[in-house]
Amino acid sequence: MTALLTVESLCFSVATGHVFQGSKTILDHVSFQVPRGAATAYLGPNGAGKTSTFRILCGLAAAASGSIHFDGQSVEAGLPPARFGFMPEQPYFYKNLSPNELLQGLGKLSGLDKQSLTPRIAEWAEKLEFSDILQQKLSTCSKGQVQRVGLAQALMHQPDFILLDEPLSGLDPLGRECVRKIIQAEVKRGATVLFSSHVLADAEAMCENVIVLNDGQIVFSGKTNSLLNTEENWIIRARWADDQQPALGTADIGSTDICTTEVGTADIQRDADDTWRITGNTEQQRNQIIHQILQSSHSQLISVEPERRTLEQAFVELLRGKNS
Amino acid sequence: MKKAMYQIFEIAHLTFSDAIRNRISYGVFVFLIIIITTSIALASVTMGRTELMILDLGLGAISILGNLMAIVITIQTLQQEKENRTLYVLITRLDGRWKYLLGKFCGLAAVLGLQIIAMCALLALSILPFGDIYWLSFIQASIATVIEIWLVIAIAMLFAQSSSLFLAILFTVSVDITGRFTSVIQQFGEQASSTALRGLTETMFYILPNLEAVNLRNGAGYIESFPAAQFANVIMYGASEIAFLLFIGMIIFERRNLS
């Protein structure tokens, strides 16, 4: 999969406001790629530099050094307006206008013609479930409703590249589900999505790729699976006939929940569905256990898979490892 | 060029639609009605030409209120757009930040221009029952007041996009007040013996917008009309000063990191 966006060695600093302290580095040689036609999560703790990266990509701030390439073309002052949609974090917009008036204006600014705008706005309002407030003043709308309007303005001109800063913050579980579906639908359409989020479960569910930023530096960039799968740990699921105890090595299931094989010990425990979960960390041991299960006429192998962490666990481990 | 004009128009349209519904506008109208009513009451108990007294008080009130409205609405609008991040979704749709600033100016100029015209019309209606004045000079003075307010918008925009709310108000009010005394500053410099002081006052005279240069309120209604050259000067000076201020604002805004 080729990259739609390539960021190389991006550096950015801000003035601290103190005359003698100079400036603070926000981004320190940040490099990453955003694969075309996929969703990528841009994660990091507060103050890591996520919003600053987005501001540079949008042309709202200038990087001190580094380069940005969009679809093979070098970008100097922000991504091409016609090809990308941007939703800032917690937008509020014009409080005296209705969502319809706002979207009409923004749609025209994006080059959409008057005739197609009204049905398009109605379509997005329905998709994002804010049809009932379309003619209501924005000052009377809730934070979540404004958030949905914000998402609609970023998507309604069907851009190739969608940049969303915390699109899920301020939304209730139903709203998050709705936005998740919309993002997945946009990826299906062929759009490339880059978004920042603190809701890691949603990022895990939606994204094939993850970029993790900490203290202005990239600490991970790659496939979500490769971050979630631990390198050596594995899980074997198996079932034994007639509710028998697993016959693995010199297992003493009742007292220690550990089975000992010729090559070491593995954890074993019974799950609620009467299956047994065996976890270990050496390849040789894994193969031996699989062999034993397959040889026995009383046992049935259900699955063998690498042990997966949640994105939240991986994220915390990654940052703790980096900080220590 | 057509696309640029269209985008500027759309920014102006969004700004106009939002600002025209700003509560400050309605409050000011109520205040103006109170002032006109008071001036009518005052005029009725004084000797002389009542209509001219109402005219003088009314035009003065419109100028003061117009200035306040221009400062408050312009700075409030620009600061809120920064804080609410509306600015971001607008700028990322444009291929030049200058369009945003120009669109913003056009939108605010339309709102405040319309309000000044409405206030002047209201003043004219309140004068009519008391007698006749020279209407042409009144119209010329009203147009000059609109230009004065547009000039204040341009000053407020220059500071609102480049500094904080408090500083923007402070700088704009300072320039607004000193801009009414630029001739006095120049005269003071001419009389000074120090060359440095003379140079400083001369520089201030040319840098500061001269708001008195667009003031035709003295004599409005009293004389048939202002000379065409004087009226043309008001328009030319106002237009060139606004263009200069917007140009400076655009240069600063293009290079600024937005946070």
Per-residue pLDDT tens for B85-94?
888 999 999 9
Least confidently predicted of A64-73, A238-247, B176-185: A238-247
Instruction: With beta carbons under 8 A apart, name residues in chain A contacting B89.
Output: 86-88, 91, 93, 106, 150, 153-154
pLDDT at residue A247, as a whole number: 63
Q: Which residue has the tokens 């620009």?
A: B78
Sequence-distant (≥ 6) Cβ neighbours of residue A189 within 8 angstroms: A158
β-pairing, A73-75 with A65-70?
A: antiparallel
- Terminal CA-CA length for chain B: 29
Instruction: With beta carbons under 8 A apart, name residues in chain A contacting B93.
Output: 81, 106, 109-110
Task: Please name the member of B18, B89, B94 whose beta carbon is closest to the beta carbon of A88.
Answer: B89
Q: Which residue has the tokens 């009144």?
A: B138
Identify the band that residue A30 occupies on the pLDDT scale cut at 50, 70 and 90: very high
Identify the band that residue A115 occupies on the pLDDT scale cut at 50, 70 and 90: confident
Inter-chain CB proximity A14 and B259 less than 8 Å: yes
Q: Which two tokens stand for residue A239?
A: 């079932």
Strand residues in chain A grouped as ranges (E): 3-15, 23-35, 39-43, 65-70, 73-75, 84-87, 161-165, 192-196, 209-214, 217-223, 229-240, 258-261, 264-270, 276-280, 299-308
Q: Burial level of A74, CB count in 10 A (0-12/13-18/19+)?
A: exposed
Chain B residues 86-115 with a CB less than 8 Å from chain A: 86, 88-95
Task: Please name the member of B19, B89, B92 whose beta carbon is closest to the beta carbon of A78.
Answer: B92
Does residue B38 carry a pLDDT above 80? no
Global ipTM: 0.84
Q: Is there a contact between B54 and B39 (Cβ–Cβ < 8 Å)?
A: yes
User: What mean pLDDT is predicted for residues A4-19?
Assistant: 83
Nearest to B255 by CA among A51, A77, A65, A50: A77
Nearest to B219 by CA among B128, B141, B148: B141
Does residue B35 carry a pLDDT above 90? no
Between residues B45 and B175, the one the model is more confident about: B175
Does residue A256 carry a pLDDT above 60? no
Q: Which class is A3-215 in CATH?
A: alpha beta
Cα separation, A19 vs A23, whole angstroms? 9
Inter-chain CB proximity B91 and A110 less than 8 Å: no
Identify the band that residue B28 occupies on the pLDDT scale cut at 50, 70 and 90: low
Total structural domains within chain B: 1
CA of B92 to nearest chain A CA: how many angstroms apart? Answer: 6
**For the residues of A45-73, what is the DSSP string, one character each?**
-TTSSHHHHHHHHHTSS--SEEEEEETTE
**What amino acid occupies position A35?**
P
Torsion of CA B50, B56, B61, B66, to 10 degrees: 140
Least confidently predicted of A99-113, A115-129, A248-262, B210-224: A248-262
Return the SS3 of A84: strand
Domain boundaries, chain A: 3-215, 230-308
Does residue B144 carry a pLDDT above 90? yes
Q: Burial level of B190, CB count in 10 A (0-12/13-18/19+)?
A: exposed
Q: Which two tokens stand for residue B237?
A: 């000076």
Inter-chain CB proximity B84 and A91 less than 8 Å: yes
| Domain extent for B224 | 2-255
Inter-chain CB proximity B92 and A62 less than 8 Å: no
